[in-house]
């Protein structure tokens, strides 16, 4: 009798918490209490992560030795290509600046100049097939808010969907609910970045008459209409096109994108806080 | 369950929950993720019964949901029911059997996975049954690997109860 009563009470309390949390996932007393609890637990999580890090690094080191030689050759070739490209780009950037100053061209915050990076370590990782999210070691105390873009050294990771006081939940680009407005850097074709198969992404909503080539870089599109400002500034690298396909019955191209960010081995990320207030947008 | 036992179980589950959300969630082997909290909970429930199992499951779930800023109560709900079921098994048929922890871990892994799936489905959230099904066998194997050392640790901290401890009612005959 007593055990059934205990079970019933615990189940009712759990259901009550579930209902309250589900109805107001990002605000309210329970959310605040959860934020305080997460802040209290953070030192333990950081400690556990630090204890595990040497073992993970050792595994990654051994794992990477096997293909280091071939990768080195490939990287040397890439460095040569990029060096030549960087020279051309720097000239173009200078020319762009000059033209913008001549036209008195006003823009919203541009990436990365007009953003302050809040660097944060990852304290919890995606758990199972239910969530493509991670928890970072920074929250509203550091200026993070809902929809703040989050990047890694490689490229766009996702955005903050549940900010706490000192920790925040980041929803990754690989989450089925995630959609980012993006464009092809070379052909200027726009689409929506969504999750794809096997850890890849899809550039969706690209009309069949548009041109996207294999190897093209995909970046965030930024704000197009000032009435509907995009949370992501223009130009955050997302990935590279690895396949373009089409079929007679499909309305859009199938553009498969390999993300630059390594979602399964993120140690630290940066949340982008704009330092410039948007006035008008290109 | 004495206060000392309660504190030991709470400390053990707290550490297990922190290790789970900080370290073990990164371990993905053939789609399976080891669930240390579940394995420790099975040990506590088998050795201390259904009430302790349900209570331990509830608080372990709270720690997990708080640390991951997830939906509060979701993990608690499933772990409470899991802890209670394993506790009842320990109180009745499973108490003297060497295979009880392993059998319990295998069964509760399936129950827990489907329990979480059902709750997500009922909340209208993403509930990828295919991914859960694919990952369930590797998860069971990983949990069974953890069961031996984890159950040994729980037994060291929580002394197994004597048979007389399980008797809650006495019926006088004659």
Average pLDDT for residues B47-51, to the nearest whole number? 90
Residue B29 has phi, psi (to 5 degrees) of -115, 110
Residues of chain A positioned with their CB less than 8 A from the CB of B12:
none
Pair B62, B76: CB distance under 8 Å = yes
Instruction: Give the contacts of A90 (CB within 8 A, at least 6 positions apart).
Output: none
Comparing alpha-carbon positions, the chain B residue that sits nearest to A167 is B69
Residue B173 lies in a domain: no
Residue B166 has pLDDT above 50, yes or no: yes
The CATH number covering residue B112 comes to: 1.10.1760.20
Pairwise CA distance, residues B163 & B96, whole Å: 9
CB contact under 8 A, A17 and B51: no
Domain A106-282 CATH superfamily:
Rod shape-determining protein MreC, domain 1 (2.40.10.340)
Does the beta carbon of A245 lie under 8 angstroms from any beta carbon of chain B?
no
**Residue B134: both structure tokens together:** 């694919």
Select the residue of A7, A19, A44 nearest B54 (Cβ to Cβ): A7
pLDDT tens for residues A110-138? 777 788 899 998 888 766 677 788 889 89
Closest-CA distance, A145 to chain B, in angstroms, reads 15
pTM of the model: 0.76
Closest-CA distance, A32 to chain B, in angstroms, reads 11
Secondary structure (3-state) at A225:
coil
In this prediction, residue A164 carries a pLDDT of 86
In this prediction, residue A24 carries a pLDDT of 81
* Boundaries of domain holding B153: 3-161
Classify the C-alpha dihedral A32-A36-A41-A42 as positive or negative.
Answer: positive
Q: Are strands A180-184 and A149-151 parallel, antiparallel or unpaired?
A: unpaired
**Cis amide leading into B164 (omega within 30):** no
In this prediction, residue A107 carries a pLDDT of 66
Q: Which of A190, A249, A184, A179 shows the shortest CA–CA distance to A214?
A: A184
In this prediction, residue A14 carries a pLDDT of 93
Residue B101 lies in a domain: yes
**Residue B22: both structure tokens together:** 């900080």
**What residue ranges of chain A have pLDDT lower than 70?**
105-109, 126-128, 277-282
Q: How would residue B145 be classed by pLDDT, with cut points 50, 70 and 90?
A: very high
Residue B168 has pLDDT above 60, yes or no: no
Comparing alpha-carbon positions, the chain B residue that sits nearest to A133 is B68
pLDDT tens for residues A141-159? 899 998 899 999 888 999 9
For chain B, the average pLDDT equals 87
Q: How many structural domains are present in chain B?
A: 1
Closest-CA distance, B56 to chain A, in angstroms, reads 10
Would you give the DSSP letter of residue A207?
B
Residue B169 lies in a domain: no
CB contact under 8 A, B63 and A41: yes
Pair B101, B42: CB distance under 8 Å = yes
């Amino acid at each position: 009798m007593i055990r059934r009563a205990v079970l019933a009470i615990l189940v009712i309390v759990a259901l009550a918490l579930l209902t309250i949390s589900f109805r107001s996932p990002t605000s309210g007393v329970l959310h605040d209490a959860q934020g305080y609890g997460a802040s209290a637990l953070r030192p333990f999580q950081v400690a556990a992560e630090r204890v595990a890090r040497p073992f993970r690094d050792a595994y990654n080191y051994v794992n990477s030795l096997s293909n280091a030689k071939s990768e080195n050759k490939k990287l040397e070739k890439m460095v040569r290509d990029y060096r030549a490209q960087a020279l051309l780009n720097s000239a173009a950037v200078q020319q762009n600046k000059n033209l913008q100053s001549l036209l008195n061209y006003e823009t919203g915050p541009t990436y990365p100049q007009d953003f302050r990076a809040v660097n944060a370590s990852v304290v919890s990782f995606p758990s199972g097939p239910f969530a493509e999210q991670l928890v970072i070691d920074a929250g509203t105390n550091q200026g993070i808010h809902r929809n703040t873009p989050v990047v890694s050294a490689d490229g766009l990771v996702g955005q903050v969907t549940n900010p706490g006081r000192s920790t925040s939940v980041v929803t990754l680009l690989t989450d089925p609910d995630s959609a980012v407005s993006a464009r092809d850097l070379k052909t200027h074709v726009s689409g929506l970045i969504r999750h794809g198969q096997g850890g890849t992404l899809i550039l969706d909503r690209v009309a069949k008459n548009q041109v996207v080539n294999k190897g093209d870089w995909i970046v965030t599109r930024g704000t197009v209409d000032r009435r509907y400002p995009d949370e992501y500034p223009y130009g955050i690298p997302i990935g590279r096109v690895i396949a373009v396909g089409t079929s007679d019955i499909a309305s859009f191209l199938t553009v498969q994108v390999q993300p630059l960010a390594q979602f399964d081995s993120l140690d630290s990320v940066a949340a982008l806080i704009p330092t410039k207030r948007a006035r008008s947008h290109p | 369950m004495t206060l000392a036992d309660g504190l030991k179980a709470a400390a053990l589950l707290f550490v297990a929950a922190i290790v789970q959300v900080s370290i073990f969630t990164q371990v993905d082997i053939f789609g399976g993720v080891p669930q240390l909290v579940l394995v420790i909970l099975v040990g506590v429930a088998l050795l201390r019964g259904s009430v302790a199992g349900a209570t331990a499951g509830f608080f372990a779930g709270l720690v997990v949901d708080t640390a991951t800023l997830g939906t509060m109560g979701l993990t608690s709900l499933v772990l409470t029911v899991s802890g209670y079921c394993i506790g009842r098994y320990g109180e009745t048929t499973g108490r003297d059997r060497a295979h009880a922890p392993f059998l319990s871990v295998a069964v509760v892994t399936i129950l827990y996975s489907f329990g979480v799936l059902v709750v997500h489905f009922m909340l209208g959230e993403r509930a990828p049954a295919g991914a859960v099904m694919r990952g369930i066998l590797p998860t069971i194997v990983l949990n069974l690997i953890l069961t031996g050392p984890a159950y040994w640790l729980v037994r060291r901290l929580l002394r197994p109860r004597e048979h007389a401890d399980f008797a809650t009612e006495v019926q006088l005959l004659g």
